[in-house]
């Protein structure tokens, strides 16, 4: 029989620009309760951009929490009020790698770290790529000034996942999902699914 994990109390700890942290006291099976640290994150999108030669657009970006550069797919926060996730993906593709796409598909929806964080990431496939200018008002700054953009054949990017060159979970999921899509053509959900 399923247990109802009722939240008995919530204590805010930190409220930042990207994340907040709270302590939830939760009723546990068999009686008693336990305190859970919960990081709230507003969500994000990622884009596997594949060109007509089946090359995936990857970028190498510094990530301070791990003190290293990672190979990633274009991605960004769902931080514009009222913006649909696919529109956020379109915006991020233009901002980060100056591309637009004719065709969009929803590949996956996943929770990268559900043991402590409620972040949800929607991962899109973008095809029919063409160059565009960055959106008006967008300023390249901070770590983005140091980004490297590279197109990598999809099969090679798959190997990068297995040999540890790609360590970013969103990029790994995206590259493997795109390769599986090419290999078996699974049924995808509607573009506006969450």
What angle in degrees, to the nearest 10, is found between the helix axes of 154-163 and 169-184? 130
Contact 42, 65 (CB under 8 A): no
Residues with catalytic roles: 144
Residue 1 to residue 114: CA distance in whole angstroms: 22
Residue 164 to residue 96: CA distance in whole angstroms: 23
In degrees, to the nearest 5, what angle opens at C-alpha 138 toward C-alphas 135 and 142?
Answer: 140
Residue whose token pair is 């043991």: 115
């Amino acid at each position: 029989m399923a247990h109802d994990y009722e939240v008995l109390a919530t204590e805010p700890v930190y409220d930042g620009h990207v994340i907040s942290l709270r302590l939830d006291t939760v009723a546990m099976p068999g009686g008693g309760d336990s305190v859970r640290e919960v990081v709230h994150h507003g969500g994000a999108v990622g884009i596997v951009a594949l060109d007509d030669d089946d090359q995936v657009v990857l970028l190498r970006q510094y990530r301070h929490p791990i003190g290293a550069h990672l190979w990633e797919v274009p991605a960004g926060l769902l931080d514009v009020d009222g913006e649909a996730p696919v529109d956020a993906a379109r915006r991020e593709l233009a901002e980060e790698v100056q591309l637009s796409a004719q065709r969009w598909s929803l590949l996956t929806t996943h929770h990268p770290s559900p043991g402590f964080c409620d972040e949800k990431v929607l991962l899109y496939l973008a095809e029919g790529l063409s160059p565009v200018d960055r959106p008006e008002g967008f300023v390249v700054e901070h770590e983005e000034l140091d980004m490297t953009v590279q197109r990598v054949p999809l099969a090679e990017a798959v190997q990068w996942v297995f040999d540890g060159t790609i360590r970013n979970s969103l990029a790994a999921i995206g590259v493997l999902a795109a390769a599986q899509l090419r290999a078996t053509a699974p049924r995808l959900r509607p573009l506006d699914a969450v």
